[in-house]
Amino acid sequence: MSLFDDDFYSTRVSRRTRFENRAGKQVSFGRKSGRGWTSTRIALTSSVASSLAAMLVFGLITGFHPGGSQTTAASPAIHTSVQSGDPLEKTISAAAKVRPAVVSIINEQAVSTGTDAGSDSAKAGDGSGLQEAALGSGFIFEKVKGKALIITNNHVIADAVAVKAVLSNGETRDAKIIGSDAITDLAVLEIDDKGIDTVVSFGESDNLRAGQWVMAIGNPLGLSDSLSMGIVSKTKRIIPVSLSQDGVYDWEQEVIQIDASINQGNSGGPLIDLDGNVVGINSMKVAEYGVEGVGFAIPSHIAMPIIQSLLEYGKVKRPYLGVYTMDLDQYLAQQAAGAKGGTNPSGDAATGDKGSTDGTTGDKSDSSGSGDGTAASGDDLVPPHGDLKLPDDVHQGVIVLQATGPADEAGLKFNDIIVKLDKQPISSTMDLRKYLYGKKQIGDDIEVTFYRDGKKETTSFTLGEKKDD
C-alpha cells in the first residue's frame, strides 16, 4: 500500500522550612523562657538532629534496624517505584519488552541469473535463482506446537517464492506463509520456535487518544532493530487504497495516523504504547515529496479477527458475488476524452480499471499481480464497448466486465450496469465491496438492480464463498 526526541524529565522537590529574619528580628527556637539559646547550642542541636535523620533514612532504604537483622526487600521496591514514574525510563522499558519479538522479513523471488553460474542463489540446472525482492518487518505474537507465529503485511510477502525471518540476534530462519489477505494487507507466517522466548502482548487500540505517545519498531531501509517515536495524530482515519496499485482507489482502510517515522521496511512491524503493548501494525506512509510525519498503522482490534481467520482457514472468508467490474463514471470520462481527440477510451479502460476489478469475486488478478482471481487474468477482460443505452440521469454504477459463479448463474452479463444492491445505491467498485463485506455474509440472499440495453432489471440470488483457484 504505497498511498500511501523529546525531552522527558521528572524532578522531586523536597519540602523545606524556610526561616526569614524580618526587620532584623532574631527567630528563637524552643520553649519560651527568659533565657535565649546561644549560637553554639543551636548549631549542636541541629547537628544531632541531622545525624538522627540521616540514620533513619539510611535504615529505611537498606532495611537496617539496630539490634535486629537487615531486610533487603525494601530497596528494590523503592528503586522500581522511582523508575516507573520516569517517562524516559518508560520508553526504554517498553522498547526492551518488545524488541526481542520483532523480526525482519525478507521476500525472495525468482530471477534469471544469466551466465552467472557461480551465484550463491543460483538453482542447480535451471539457470534461475532467488533474489531478495523486498524487505519488511514482523513480530512474534504466539508460540504453539513448536512454531513461532509472526504477523506482517501482505504486501511484504506478496509474490514471494521463499520468505525468511531474521531474528533480533541476527539469526536467519526459513518462514512459511500460513495465510494472507490483500484486502486488509495482513499475513501470518511461522518459523521454528527454538530459542525464542519473547512474544508480544496486545493493547486496546480502540482506547488510544490523540496526542498519546507511541513507538514504531522495525527494519526501515534494511536497518534492523530500529525504533522511532511520535504521537497519535488521529485515532481513526479512513483512507482510500488502490489494491492493485494502479492508481484507482477500490477500497478504504481504517487506520491510526501517527507522526512516528514509517519508512520502507517498517511495514509489518509493531506500533506499541508506552506499556510495551502492540496497538497497531505499521502499514504505510504518504509517499509524496515534501510530506513528513504522516504514517499509518492498522489498529490491533481490527487486525486480530483477520489474524484469527488466517490461522484457522489460511484466508479471510468473504461473500462472493461473482462480477469483475469497472466504474461507470470513469468509463464515461474516458469516452468523453476520446471523443475530444484524447486517448482511446476502451484502451485505457482495458488496462486501467480492470486492474482494480471487483474484489467480491475474490480480488480479480490483474497485470500488476495484486489479486487472486478465479477466472482469466485482468489482461483477458474485454473493456466495455458500444452504446450502453443508459437513461440521461444515470451517471454512476459499475459495469460488469465478466460474470462468474453466482452472478453468472443468475444471468448477469457483460456490459450490464449495476446501480443497486438491496436498494442500496452503488456508485463504484469501492461502494460494492464495502456493502458486501460490511453488510452481507456467505449464504445471504442479495437483490441486484442493473441496466441492460437501457432497461432497468432486477435479479436475486444467494451469495457464495470464493473457492481456491
| Claim to verify: residue 216 and residue 175 sit in the same structural domain | no
In a domain, 92, yes or no: no
Long-range pairs for 456-462: beta carbons < 8 A, 24 or more residues apart: 459/410, 459/411, 459/412, 460/410, 461/406, 461/407, 461/409, 461/410, 462/406
Query: Is the pLDDT score of 70 beyond 50?
Result: no
In a domain, 274, yes or no: yes
Q: Which of 137, 168, 185, 428 is catalytic?
A: 185
Residue type, 382: V
| Claim to verify: residue 177 and residue 212 sit in the same structural domain | no
Which residues lie across from 278 on neighbouring strands? Answer: 202, 272
Indicate if 395 belongs to the active site: no
pTM for the model stands at 0.70
Tell which of 142, 161, 192 closes a domain. 192
The CATH number assigned to the domain holding 417 equals 2.30.42.10
Residue type, 287: A
Please give the grid coordinates belonging to residue 414.
Answer: 457483460
**Whole-angstrom Cα distance, residue 33 to residue 24?**
21
CB 166 within 8 A of CB 174: no
In a domain, 19, yes or no: no
Distances (CA, A) of 158 to 133, 183, 313, 461: 10, 12, 18, 33
- Averaged pLDDT score across all residues of the chain: 76
| Claim to verify: residue 399 and residue 428 sit in the same structural domain | yes
Alpha carbon dihedral 298, 300, 302, 306, in 10-degree steps, equals 100
Tell which of 251, 280, 313 closes a domain. 313
Instruction: Give the confidence band of 85 by pLDDT, cuts at 50, 70, 90.
Output: low
In a domain, 79, yes or no: no
**Whole-angstrom Cα distance, residue 161 to residue 110?**
7
Q: Which of 104, 137, 155, 224 is catalytic?
A: 155
| pLDDT at residue 261, as a whole number | 83
| pLDDT at residue 376, as a whole number | 34
Residue type, 325: T
Which domain range does residue 144 map to?
A: 101-192
CB 416 within 8 A of CB 404: no
| Claim to verify: residue 442 and residue 348 sit in the same structural domain | yes
| Claim to verify: residue 222 and residue 117 sit in the same structural domain | no
The CATH number assigned to the domain holding 108 equals 2.40.10.10
Q: Which of 377, 369, 202, 174 is nearest to 276 (CA)?
A: 202
| pLDDT at residue 202, as a whole number | 97
In a domain, 76, yes or no: no
| Claim to verify: residue 346 and residue 276 sit in the same structural domain | no
pLDDT tens-place string over residues 54-64: 555 445 444 44
Instruction: Give the confidence band of 246 by pLDDT, cuts at 50, 70, 90.
Output: confident
Alpha helices in 187-340 (DSSP H): 300-313, 328-339
**Whole-angstrom Cα distance, residue 183 to residue 371?**
9
| Claim to verify: residue 339 and residue 440 sit in the same structural domain | yes
Q: Which of 267, 283, 300, 309 is catalytic?
A: 267
pLDDT tens-place string over residues 371-425: 333 333 345 566 676 678 888 889 899 999 999 999 999 999 999 999 999 999 9
| Claim to verify: residue 286 and residue 333 sit in the same structural domain | no
Please give the grid coordinates belonging to residue 214.
Answer: 507511541
Q: Cell match 526504554: residue? A: 92
In a domain, 124, yes or no: yes
Distances (CA, A) of 383 to 27, 64, 360: 99, 87, 19
Domain total of the chain: 3
Tell which of 192, 216, 243 closes a domain. 192
| Claim to verify: residue 280 and residue 148 sit in the same structural domain | no
| Claim to verify: residue 301 and residue 326 sit in the same structural domain | no
Q: Which of 149, 346, 364 is nearest to 250 (CA)?
A: 364
What does DSSP say about strands 201-202 and 277-285: parallel, antiparallel, or unpaired? parallel
| Claim to verify: residue 330 and residue 432 sit in the same structural domain | yes
Indicate if 65 belongs to the active site: no
Residues found in the chain: 469
| Claim to verify: residue 169 and residue 303 sit in the same structural domain | no
Indicate if 155 belongs to the active site: yes
| pLDDT at residue 147, as a whole number | 97
Which residues lie across from 110 on neighbouring strands? Answer: 130
**Whole-angstrom Cα distance, residue 158 to residue 372?**
11
In a domain, 340, yes or no: yes
In a domain, 85, yes or no: no
